[in-house]
Structure 1
């Protein structure tokens, strides 16, 4: 997973840019995690619980995105997909436009943990 953290030149806020296949992770980090220490601890605890076998899967629903942690990977998905609102009008899909890659993404658990810790260091959580 390729990514870069930057500070927005106008607002000074932390921004995250990701490769196309993981593009949704950037907005998830900015919107759902931001600089929220409690949320970071909740997610790291969920990862630890799944890895230790205390549970099979953990779902953390945010304002715009949801996060699912299981033994194999971490999956981030726009809540609109969970609500069935992500169906595009036919005229868009006929034009060959593909928006699916922007609505969800998965990565390995250890890669995700490393990402979270890097974000925390960058944003000084």
Structure 2
């Protein structure tokens, strides 16, 4: 999986860029996780619960995106997929991502944990 973290030269905000197959992970990280150490911690704890078989599946619904964790994968989708609305959140439309209302980005659970840890290090959380 290819990705890169950068700081926006104008705003200084952390940006996450992912390959086409996982492109939704970037805006999800920026929007739902950002610099929120509590969210990062909660997601890492959720991964641990899944791995220890305390729970089979965990879904964390954010303001614009949701992530579902299973014993194998992490799935990220815009909440429009969950509530049946047609319009994409403004941030998705502005970023000109090539997605439709049925798009889901997925990656393996181990890769997802590494992304979270790398993001935490990059944003210093």
- In structure 1, the residue corresponding to 2:31 is in which secondary structure? helix
Provide the TM-score with structure 1 as the length reference: 0.87
Would the alpha carbon gap of residues 81 and 102 (structure 1) be closer, same or farther in structure 2, given more than 3 Å must change? closer
Q: How many residues align?
A: 116
Aligned-pair Cα RMSD in Å: 1.9
Would the alpha carbon gap of residues 73 and 101 (structure 1) be closer, same or farther in structure 2, given more than 3 Å must change? farther
Q: Which runs of 5+ in 2 are unaligned?
A: 89-97
Cα deviation for residue 102 of structure 1 reads 8.3
1:50-71: per-residue Cα shift (whole Å, max 9, x none)? 1100010001000000010010
**Residue 12 of structure 2 corresponds to residue 7 of structure 1:** no
Provide the TM-score with structure 2 as the length reference: 0.87
Cα deviation for residue 87 of structure 1 reads 8.0
Q: Which runs of 5+ in 1 are unaligned?
A: 89-97
Cα deviation for residue 86 of structure 1 reads 3.7
